[in-house]
Chain A
């Protein structure tokens, strides 16, 4: 019995060591980024530090001085992410509700089709999409990034899984007896009940939009419409070559909002990931 306990303890210690190493690998790059955003270029060149310094404002001034409009990029990214979130959540919940609540012909086919769409790399049609948008005069327009989210297969799949786990047929029937319209039931009965699921879906939609570089990079051309990931790309230019503190600050500005959101909602996010995958 003693040996068994000892063996368990040794194994447990070993596991905690492995976990700690993984944690260091995970956190150190992010920590160094945030610390370096507060240090001057001279300090950064002198060596590593794991403690923040006092040059945050100075770095910010250098960044703006070089013509990088960080507040503008921030506002653009925020606008795009919020609009994308609303469009994704509303239309995906609408579609998912239609699949879950009604028995119509072709329902099975449509749900399988959603799963197939999740597995198809739609992004590879970006060139055809670009040319089509330019014919419609929608290039360099956020509409080209927002409207496609009306048909977001991944979000519909998630919404379907979520709504199936809620039992609401009785409530729907009760609302019908009270004379509510079908669309009214969706808005007034289902939506309030599905808030936790909608919130999870919304967080993912927000992060996806916030992080999106490729599509925006191809579709958006004027500099005052640049989103934060696109500004990051300009940070790689020659103007900033030696301004390390300012570069780190620019990068930190793109990821700190996400870290804050994660700190607030990590429970939703972690359970949301498992939900998209399981039960299929």
Chain B
């Protein structure tokens, strides 16, 4: 490497400096500050705050509210994530199948993705309007005899939870389809041809070729969905009263954090402790999945598979 080139490469630091400064000020410091606050009894009202050690955390574990929020968040996430992946694998398999030649793939995908772009707050308010007592769902159900009389959907725990799960699924399955399909089309067709020559069935090819080669993509979807899901707020917050009613059944981590923040005294110390615990839980799960499930040579397999097949044939 010549001296001039060596010097020039210092410009790399110059280009990434704004990011690093921005990250330190607006990313890292708030994380540190949240952690520091979680050990104090700071409120928005009082000027002086005391160090209280782990008291905030002890309080969180002392009653069921926090564990209930964590349980709700996981339940809602898991029950919308697996149908998402299932539908995405199914549709992608259909769309990429050369024998079926499904028409208008681009259009189907584009339309399925649309809900993902809509303002989540409006989507929640929309479903609230649809499922309110005088809303269109009751009109429809009663008029066509599916229900003897109008009911309060949003006072029923299973219906409200189911609705949050459905809305989350509705907003995200289109995106998952697009990503899974992009992953499937990047698998070299030669692999399937070789398998067909060996007499493999469609389901064998799916399990032995498609799924293993999709693994990096599936892990990506899994991790990003988990990180988003653990911070779910807008939909459950605006679907009912903002406290996760009925019976705290859709109270998520972030709703609980917000409730502590917005309580009459503004207990930001206690709110921070919720943030810290969920931060730790999510980061461990996300990074754990990423590092333990990922095989480092997965992407290499896709790139080199053509070559190795070719070698085998000759």
- CB-defined A-B contacts under 8 Å, sample of 30: A16-B102, A23-B108, A23-B111, A23-B112, A29-B127, A30-B114, A30-B118, A91-B18, A103-B1, A104-B13, A119-B223, A119-B287, A121-B278, A121-B279, A121-B283, A123-B231, A127-B271, A127-B272, A128-B31, A128-B275, A130-B268, A131-B42, A151-B26, A229-B234, A232-B121, A235-B125, A251-B126, A255-B118, A270-B109, A277-B220
Partner of A278, one of B109, B186, B271, B286: B186
Query: Which of B8, B34, B139 is A129 in contact with, Cβ under 8 Å?
Result: B34
B122 adjacent to chain A (CB < 8 Å): yes
Using CB atoms, name the residue of chain B closest to A14.
B94
- Answer yes or no: B82 CB below 8 A from chain A CBs: no
Q: 7 tightest CB-CB pairs across the interface, nearest first? A: A98-B15, A128-B34, A102-B12, A150-B22, A128-B33, A274-B182, A104-B12
- Are A280 and B108 interface neighbours, CB within 8 A? no
Quick one: closest A residue to B134, CB to CB? A45
User: Which residues does A use to contact B, with CB under 8 Å?
Assistant: 8, 11-12, 15-16, 19, 22-23, 25-27, 29-30, 32-33, 36, 44-45, 47-48, 91, 94-95, 97-99, 101-104, 107, 110, 116-132, 147-148, 150-151, 156, 182-183, 186, 207, 210-211, 213-214, 218, 228-230, 232-233, 235-236, 244, 247-248, 251, 254-255, 258-259, 261-262, 266, 269-270, 273-274, 277-280
Number of interface residues, chain B, beta carbon within 8 A? 100
Is B34 within 8 A of A125, CB to CB? yes
CB neighbours of A132 from chain B (8 A):
29-30, 33
Which residue in chain B gives the minimum CB-CB distance to A94? B15
Is the CB–CB distance between B15 and A233 below 8 Å?
no
In the complex, B36 has a CB within 8 A of chain A = yes
B179 smallest CB distance to A (angstroms): 5
B10 part of interface (Cβ distance < 8 Å) = yes
| A244 vs chain B, min Cβ distance (A) | 7
Q: Is the CB–CB distance between B119 and A127 below 8 Å?
A: no
Cβ A127 vs Cβ B287 within 8 A: no
Encode B111-134 as 1/0 by CB contact (under 8 A) with A.
111110111111001111110001
**CB distance A210 to B30 under 8 Å?**
no
Q: Could you tell me the distance between the alpha carbons of A132 and B85 in the complex, rounded to whole angstroms?
A: 39
Alpha-carbon separation in the docked complex, A266 to B30 (Å):
36
Residues of chain B within 8 A (CB-CB) of A129 are 26, 30, 33-34
Flag the segment in B58-66, B192-200, B253-261 that touches A: B253-261
Binding site for A on B (CB under 8 A): 1, 8-16, 18-23, 25-27, 29-37, 42, 87, 91, 94, 99-102, 106, 108-115, 117-122, 125-130, 134, 136, 139-140, 143, 170, 174-175, 178-179, 181-183, 186, 216-217, 220-221, 223-224, 227, 230-231, 233-234, 238, 254, 257-258, 261, 268, 271-272, 275-276, 278-279, 282-283, 286-287, 290, 299
User: For residue A213, which residues in chain B have a CB less than 8 angstroms away from its CB?
Assistant: 119-121, 233-234
Once bound together, how far apart are the Cα atoms of A27 and B224, in whole Å? 25
Residues from chain A with a CB closer than 8 A to the CB of B139 are: 47-48
Which chain A positions have C-beta within 8 A of B290? 119
Q: What's the Cα separation between A93 and B254 when bound, in Å?
A: 31
Least distance between A263 CB and chain B CB atoms (Å): 9
